[in-house]
Amino acid sequence: MSILVLGGAGYIGSHTVYELIDEGMEVVIADNLETGYAAAVHPKAKFYQGDIRNREFIDSVFDNEKIEAVIHFAANSLVGESMTNPLKYYDNNMCGTKVLLESMVAHGIDKIVFSSTAATYGEPESIPILETDNTKPTNTYGETKLSMEKMFYWVSRAHGLRYVSLRYFNACGAHVSGQIGEAHNPETHLIPLILKVPNGQRENITIFGDDYDTKDGTCVRDYIHVTDLAQAHILAVKYLMNGGASDIFNLGNGVGFTVKEVIETARKVTGHPIPAVTVERRAGDPAKLIASSEKAVKVLGWKPQFADLEKIIESAWKWHSTHPNGYNK
C-alpha cells in the first residue's frame, strides 16, 4: 500500500515525501508541475504528472496504485495573487478538491491529510490562536482553504471518509541535506527574500511597516520548519490509520519573532550586513500571528525539532546559498 502525495513536487510536499521515504513508506506523487519542480521529486517515489481537476487523470492514479491514504498539498498559495485573481483560487483549490473527493469516494479511499493554513483565521481574536477560535479569512487564499476544510467535513459525514486538516503558520527552512528547499516564483516570503541580499540578488530587504503594536513595531510571526511540518503529516497519516477521528490542528512553534529579529538572525547566520529599508505596511498583514499547537502535541504526539530560529535560517541558507535560482540552473 502507498501514500499518495498530491503536490509532492512543491515546497512542503517534497519535504514530506523525503520524510515518508525515510520512514520506509511507499510513496506515489501526483503533481501538475505548475508551481512544483521535477527536480524536487524524490527519486524513490513513483511520479505521475497531471492535474487533480482532471477526473480521468486522478481516477487513473487510483486505478493503477494501491493507495492507503492521501496527503493533499495541490493548491495555489499566494495571498497577494489570490486577491487579484480570486477565481484562479476557486478553480484550482476548490474545484480540484471537489474532483479529488469524487474520485476518492468512488474508489473507496477514506483517509486524507490536508494542507491548511493560519490564513483561515484572519485577524486573530486572541494570541496564541486556538483551533476553536473564529475563522474569518481576510483573503481569498484563506477563504478557499477554509471552504476546502468544510468540504471535507460534509463529505466525511456523507461518505464516512476521515480527514486531518493541518493549519500551518509560517513555513520556512529547508531539508538538512541541502538537496531540496523553498523555491517560489515570484518569491513573496520573508526569509527567502532576506537571503537574496547575501546572495547578491537584492540590494536590501524591505520591511513592510514598523508602526505595528509589537515590541519593535514590526509584524510578529510563528516560523515553523518545513521538516517539522512534514513530520506532522506522517503523524496525521498514522493517526488516521489507527482509527483517529477527523480533526483540525494548528502547526507552529508557539513562539513569535518580529521581522527585525528575523533579519538580525539572518545577519548572524550569513555574516552579511543585510541592509533593511522600511516601507509602507503591506495590505492585509495582521500584527501578530502565533499558534497554540498544544493539540497537535497532545493528540498527534508532534514534537517540533527546530524551535531555534537560527537553526531554521541556517538550513534555509544552506539551500539558498547553493541554489540561488532554486531548481533552475
Contact flag: residue 189 with ligand UFG (CB under 6 A): yes
Q: Minimum distance between the CB of residue 106 and ligand UFG, rounded to whole angstroms?
A: 31
**CB-nearer residue toward ligand UFG: 103 or 218:** 218
Q: Looking at 3, 5, 9, 79, which residue binds ligand UFG (CB under 6 A)?
A: 79
Among 29, 219, 224, 291, contact with ligand UFG (rule: CB under 6 A): 219
Number of residues that bind ligand UFG (CB under 6 A): 22
239 is catalytic: no
Asked whether position 282 contacts ligand UFG by CB under 6 A, the answer is yes
One of 141, 168, 212, 239 is an active-site residue; which one? 141
Stretch that binds ligand UFG, among 33-41, 90-98, 117-125, 311-319 (CB under 6 A): 117-125
- Angstrom distance (rounded) from CA 100 to CA 55: 7
Could you say whether residue 167 binds ligand UFG (CB under 6 A)? no
User: In Å, what is the CA distance from 25 to each residue of 43, 44, 134, 244?
Assistant: 14, 10, 36, 20
In degrees, rounded to 5, the angle at the alpha carbon of residue 109 between the alpha carbons of residues 108 and 112 is 150
Among 72, 162, 175, 221, binds ligand UFG (CB under 6 A): 221
Our finding on whether 5 is near ligand UFG (CB under 6 A) is: no
Does 115 contact ligand UFG by CB under 6 A?
no
CA angle centred on 79, ends 115 and 146, rounded to 5° = 45
Asked whether position 119 contacts ligand UFG by CB under 6 A, the answer is yes
CA atoms of 112 and 281, how far apart (whole Å): 37
By beta-carbon proximity to ligand UFG, the closer residue of 221 and 295 is: 221
Decide: is 57 part of the binding site for ligand UFG (CB under 6 A): no
Which residue of 77, 140, 165, 292 would you call a contact of ligand UFG, by CB under 6 A? 77
* DSSP codes, 202-261: -S-EEEE-S-SSSSSSS-EE-EEEHHHHHHHHHHHHHHHHTTPPPEEEEES-S--EEHHH
Which of 134, 177, 188, 325 is in the footprint of ligand UFG by CB under 6 A?
A: 188
For residue 236, the tally of other CB atoms under 10 A from its CB is 28
**Beta-sheet strands, E only, within the chain:** 2-6, 26-31, 46-49, 67-72, 111-117, 162-168, 170-172, 205-208, 220-221, 223-225, 247-251, 257-258, 276-279
Q: Which three cell numbers stand for residue 168?
A: 500551518
The reply on whether position 117 binds ligand UFG by CB under 6 A is yes
Integer Cα distance of 290 and 222 in angstroms: 5
CA proximity to 113, closest of 60, 168, 61, 159: 168
Q: How far is the CB of 65 from ligand UFG (least distance, A)?
A: 30
Q: Minimum distance from CB of 279 to ligand UFG (Å)?
A: 8
| Catalytic residue numbers, as ranges | 141
Contact residues toward ligand UFG (CB under 6 A) are 77, 79, 117-119, 141-142, 170, 188-190, 193, 205-208, 219, 221, 259, 282, 285, 289
